């Protein structure tokens, strides 16, 4: 199989059309979808999403003898339909603050399946979490004192509390996506965590678990070992159990470019964690915790494809520019982290390359280059280009820069495409605006 094609969702195929071969996903004709819904257009393939979840669940069943489950890290991409998918698949949904919590509630995610994360949660975030979440992950001592006040005011039911540990260990990823190192803004270091646990005990707060998240987009599970060991040491020192929860966060990588293939196997990640938790608990005489993994990217990134239309082709100092109708506003990751993507034209995707091309969007920033120097065939204005592995941290970080309207999002399943988010309109751009006050005469 063509390596670049292997980045695309599992249902991707080539269909014969009068104009040659064309890419299809979930048996949907991408030219038809682009004509009907406009571009840029985001597609989510249900089968690929289900398959990634299936791999996680199967690996947990195979390698972890205790109670275990998956929490979807909603910040990768959350909307009503995705939250519904998570809920109906039995996942918990990790919500950052009251905004994502409101989306999960609108989707009908039951309280027990809602977990709230966040650094510097506002009073409103905390109130919403206490009112609607089954679990809240405490980031700092100030927040915990505020929670203790709410507990004393007899707000019931109350979420179970986990403490977020900062293990002081980095994983190998971009500095902007590391979160577990000692100078990180996230979580409690060991001494603070002990104080937090003592406060919980004094106040009678329901402390039931420990959490850490070392960073995003790592492909070697080895550094997790030391963080797990420290977390289990803490669990032992705090006397957690017999029923307790351990959440080693998420962060497992996916391949974005054919040079990064194969996709790091989810089984390798789950097996490494499961083995270390089992042996670590045995060593310390701890009961096996309820193990909750928290993937975002590795669950949803591959299911997503972004579809753009080439508006013009131009050349500058030997560079071939394919000017597309999206970029920075729907996907800031290349500008933010230097993320590298790949792409294929939708029509005759496997025709031989002409040479490198630079795919740039319409926005007024030189950093609005989605893909640099990718070998691509001769592509004309008007053609569609599909960018694989576009399901995570793109739309959730999208903006209205230059008056961009956020794209429509389609759910592809069983040969049909169903809109789960409509494209923003011109009215949406001014919906929050109010005119200047009329000056007194
Ligand atoms: C972002 C995040 C995740 C998910 O990270 P991925 O790289 O998308 O798997 C999980 N837990 C926490 C606390 C996070 O901040």
| CA–CA separation, 62 and 248 (whole Å) | 18
Task: Name the 3-class secondary structure at 432.
Answer: coil
Strands 408-413 and 416-421: antiparallel
- Return the residue whose CA atom lies nearest to atom 8 of ligand 1: 296
Cβ–Cβ under 8 Å, residues 42 and 408: yes
The Cα-based distances of 197 to 116, 200, 220, 223, 373 in angstroms read 19, 5, 31, 25, 52
Closest atom of ligand 1 to CA, residue 393 = 8
Backbone angles phi, psi at 366, to 5 degrees: -65, -20
**What token pair was written down for 170?**
């980095």
Helix axis angle for 141-152 and 123-132, nearest 10°, is 50
The Cα-based distances of 152 to 66, 121, 158, 208 in angstroms read 34, 19, 11, 18
CA of 433 to the centre of ligand 1 (A): 33
Which residue, 118, 107, 147, 79, is CA-closest to 300?
79
Instruction: Please give the pLDDT value at position 29.
Output: 95
CB of 75 within 6 A of ligand 1: the answer is yes
Among 101-105, 222-226, 325-329, which stretch is predicted with the lowest mean pLDDT?
Answer: 222-226
Closest atom of ligand 1 to CA, residue 297 = 8
**Mean pLDDT over residues 73-95, rounded?**
98
Q: What is the pTM of this model?
A: 0.96
Q: Hey, which residues does 359 pair with through a beta bridge?
A: 322, 371
Instruction: Please give the pLDDT value at position 123.
Output: 96
- Return the residue whose CA atom lies nearest to atom 3 of ligand 1: 250
Which residue, 133, 189, 185, is CA-closest to 161?
133
Question: pLDDT tier at 1 (50, 70, 90 boundaries)?
Answer: low
**Mean pLDDT over residues 376-405, rounded?**
98
Which residue, 299, 296, 291, 285, is CA-closest to 272?
291
The Cα-based distances of 392 to 49, 66, 265 in angstroms read 12, 29, 17
**Mean pLDDT over residues 277-306, rounded?**
98
Question: pLDDT tier at 176 (50, 70, 90 boundaries)?
Answer: low
Instruction: Please give the pLDDT value at position 268.
Output: 97
The torsion of the CA quartet 324, 80, 391, 171, rounded to 10 degrees, works out to 130
pLDDT tens across 100-156, in order? 999 999 999 999 999 999 999 999 999 999 999 999 999 999 999 999 999 999 889
- Return the residue whose CA atom lies nearest to atom 10 of ligand 1: 250
Closest atom of ligand 1 to CA, residue 179 = 15
**What token pair was written down for 403?**
């008056």
CA of 294 to the centre of ligand 1 (A): 6
CA of 216 to the centre of ligand 1 (A): 6
| CA–CA separation, 410 and 398 (whole Å) | 16
The sign one gets for the Cα dihedral 232, 238, 240, 244 is negative
Question: pLDDT tier at 215 (50, 70, 90 boundaries)?
Answer: confident
Query: Per-residue pLDDT for 166 more than 80?
Result: yes
- Return the residue whose CA atom lies nearest to atom 15 of ligand 1: 213
Question: pLDDT tier at 412 (50, 70, 90 boundaries)?
Answer: very high
Instruction: Please give the pLDDT value at position 441.
Output: 64
18: Cβ contacts below 8 Å, ≥ 6 apart: none
Domains of the chain: 5-38+303-430 (2.40.37.10), 47-298 (3.20.20.10)
């Amino acid at each position: 199989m063509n390596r670049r094609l292997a980045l695309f969702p599992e249902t991707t195929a080539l269909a014969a059309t009068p104009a040659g071969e064309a890419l299809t996903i979930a048996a949907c004709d991408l030219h038809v979808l682009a004509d009907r819904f406009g571009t840029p257009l985001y597609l989510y393939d249900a089968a690929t999403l289900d398959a990634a979840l299936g791999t996680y669940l199967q690996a947990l069943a195979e390698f972890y003898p205790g109670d275990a489950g998956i929490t979807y890290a909603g910040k990768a991409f959350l909307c009503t339909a995705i939250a519904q998918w998570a809920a109906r698949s039995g996942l918990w949904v990790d919500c950052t603050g009251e905004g994502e919590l409101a989306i999960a509630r609108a989707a009908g995610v039951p309280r027990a399946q809602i977990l709230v994360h966040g650094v510097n949660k506002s009073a409103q975030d905390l109130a919403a979490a206490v009112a609607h979440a089954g679990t809240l992950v405490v980031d700092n001592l100030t927040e915990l004192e505020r929670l203790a006040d709410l507990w004393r005011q007899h707000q019931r039911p109350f979420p179970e509390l986990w403490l977020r540990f900062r293990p002081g260990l980095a994983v190998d990823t971009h500095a902007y996506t590391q979160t577990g190192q000692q100078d990180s803004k996230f979580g409690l270091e060991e001494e603070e965590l002990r104080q937090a646990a003592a406060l919980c005990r004094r106040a009678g707060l329901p402390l039931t678990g420990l959490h850490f998240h070392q960073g995003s987009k790592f492909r070697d599970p080895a550094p997790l070992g030391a963080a797990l060991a420290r977390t289990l040491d803490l669990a032992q020192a705090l006397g957690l159990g017999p029923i307790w929860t351990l959440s080693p966060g998420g962060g497992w990588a996916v391949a974005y470019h054919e040079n990064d293939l194969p996709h790091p196997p989810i089984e390798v990640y789950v097996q490494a964690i499961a083995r270390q938790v089992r042996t670590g608990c045995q060593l310390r005489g701890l009961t096996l915790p309820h193990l909750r993994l928290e993937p975002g990217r590795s669950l949803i990134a591959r299911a997503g494809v972004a579809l753009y239309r080439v508006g013009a082709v131009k050349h500058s100092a030997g560079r071939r520019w394919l000017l597309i109708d999206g970029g920075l506003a729907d996907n800031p990751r290349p500008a933010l982290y230097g993320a590298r993507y790949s792409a294929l034209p939708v029509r005759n995707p496997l025709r031989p390359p002409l040479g490198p091309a630079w795919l740039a969007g319409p926005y007024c920033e030189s950093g609005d280059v989605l893909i640099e120097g990718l070998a691509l065939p001769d592509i004309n204005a008007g053609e569609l280009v599909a960018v694989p592995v576009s399901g995570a941290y793109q739309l959730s970080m999208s903006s209205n820069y230059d008056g961009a309207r956020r794209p429509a999002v389609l759910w592809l399943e069983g040969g049909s495409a169903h809109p789960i988010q409509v494209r923003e309109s011109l009215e949406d751009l001014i919906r929050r605006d109010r005119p200047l006050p009329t000056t007194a005469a």
